[in-house]
Amino acid sequence: MRTLVLNAGYEPLAVITFRRALVLVLTGKASVVAEGDDPVVGPQDILGRPSVILLNRYIRPRYNTMTAVSRRGVLRRDAHRCAYCGKAAHTIDHIQPKSRGGADSWENLVAACLRCNNAKSDHTPAEMGWKIGFVPGPPKGAIWQIKELEKPTPAWDPFLLPESAA
């Protein structure tokens, strides 16, 4: 079971194991904000299993200024939807084909379904008469730096929704 760690300012900081979260709570470095269903049964105590903890002191996050480009990141940025037809996407496509000097960058990569990717082949969207409904760019926000937040637990939603709306 995973535990979401919130900084003292309620911003997502990391995802850790519930055991590490219990240690932080028991040593007084964090407090439990939300508990999971199953309690932790110890030899003398029964403790709630922390789902979300809040650090007592503010920690300055060490986020990279630029998120590295990856297939997984492009699919996640585009919500696994094809940039050309809007259906479910499982591949990525270079807007400016690589054979024509297109780079592996956030601005040149979009999610695409297999059908559109094969149909587009070595052409640009303009040559195909296709339009992209958004301007591709690097993802924004601290939430992108925490890879474990790709599949968040539903109990974390109240703590993550303000960040994803930004």
Strand partners, 57: none
71, 80 contact by CB (below 8 A): no
Identify the pLDDT of residue 163.
45
Strand partners, 55: 30
For residue 50, which of 73, 31, 68 has the smallest C-alpha distance? 31
Contacts of 98 (CB under 8 A, 6+ apart): 104
C-alpha span between 20 and 46 (Å, rounded): 16
pLDDT digits (tens, 9 = 90+) for 119-157: 998 999 999 999 998 899 888 765 666 666 666 777 787
- What is 71-128's CATH number? 1.10.30.50
pLDDT at 90 over 80: yes
Strand partners, 31: 54
C-alpha span between 143 and 13 (Å, rounded): 8
Specify the domain boundaries for CATH 1.10.30.50 within the chain: 71-128
Q: What is the mean pLDDT of residues 87-101?
A: 94
Considering the entire predicted model, what is its pTM? 0.60
CA angle at 94 for the pair 88 and 100, rounded to the nearest 5°: 155
pLDDT digits (tens, 9 = 90+) for 28-76: 999 999 888 888 888 888 888 898 999 999 988 766 666 778 898 899 8
Tokens 């303000």 belong to: 162
H or E segment at 29? Answer: none
